[in-house]
Amino acid sequence: MILGAFFRALGQVGDPAFRRVLFIGIGLTIALLIAACTGFIQIMGWLLADGTGIEWIDNAAWIGDLATWGTVFLFLGLSVFLMVPVASAITSMFLDEVARAVEAKHYPHLPPAPRVPFWDSVRDTVNFLGILIAANVVALVLYVFLPFAAIFIFWGLNGFLLGREYFTLAAMRRLGREGARAARRENAGTIWLAGTLMAIPLTVPLLNLVIPILGAATFTHIFHAVSGTRPQPE
């Protein structure tokens, strides 16, 4: 089910409506990462400014080259740690558009789903980001005591949280908030596995740029699969 949903999502990348959201999502992701990278560089510049006792660094020729390459690696490194909250935010903003594009192609027999009110989406996004950040802060303790298992803990934890949010947002369009919670409880194992399979490529720089939108499409298919709605044969 999960792989089938993913490959159907991947096969729709060329759809104009889907591609538009994909490019917007990638653009916003890159913009956020650049902003974070720029902010970090500005802070480092302030720390290395005159008066810190290390003014000699300004006269070292190799610092410029180091900064150039450091910026590249910083950008890639930040993409690993920031992509989980970025994936959450982007999905909340664009899942409805992605789901509509998916349903227009694969489930055209379904009636149009009502749009989720904007402020409800904002509230859900803020609440989930708070849970996501708090859970990952607590997980830092486990990373310290279980360093060899840290990446697996990261994937499992964020897979659970992302799967929970992605599925809930997809299901709410058709079932409402309470119906989405009930469907999530009934399919908790599948949702967690799908979320974990999504969290893994989110830690791969560059590849992680396209995962949030593909994840939104994949979970739309997963919701319809567990609801018993069959896609239209292609």
Q: What is the pLDDT of residues 130-180, one digit of tens each?
A: 888 788 888 888 888 888 988 899 899 989 999 998 999 899 989 988 999
- Sequence letter at residue 31: A
What tens digit of pLDDT does each residue of 76-105 get?
555 566 667 777 677 777 788 888 889 999
Nearby residues of 168 by Cβ (< 8 Å), 6 or more positions away: 180, 181, 184
Asked whether residue 108 carries a pLDDT value surpassing 60, the answer given is yes
Q: Quickly count: other Cβ atoms within 10 Å of residue 122's Cβ.
A: 12
- Sequence letter at residue 29: T
Torsion, Cα 91 94 100 105, to 10 degrees, reads: -80
What tens digit of pLDDT does each residue of 15-49 get?
887 788 778 877 877 777 677 667 766 776 676 55
CA–CA separation, 81 and 137 (whole Å): 12
Torsion, Cα 202 204 144 126, to 10 degrees, reads: -30
3-class DSSP state of 54: coil
Q: Is the pTM of this model over 0.85?
A: no
**In 167-202, which positions are buried (b, 16+ CB within 10 angstroms) versus exposed (e)?**
bbbbbbbbbeeeebeebbeebeebbbebbbbbbbeb
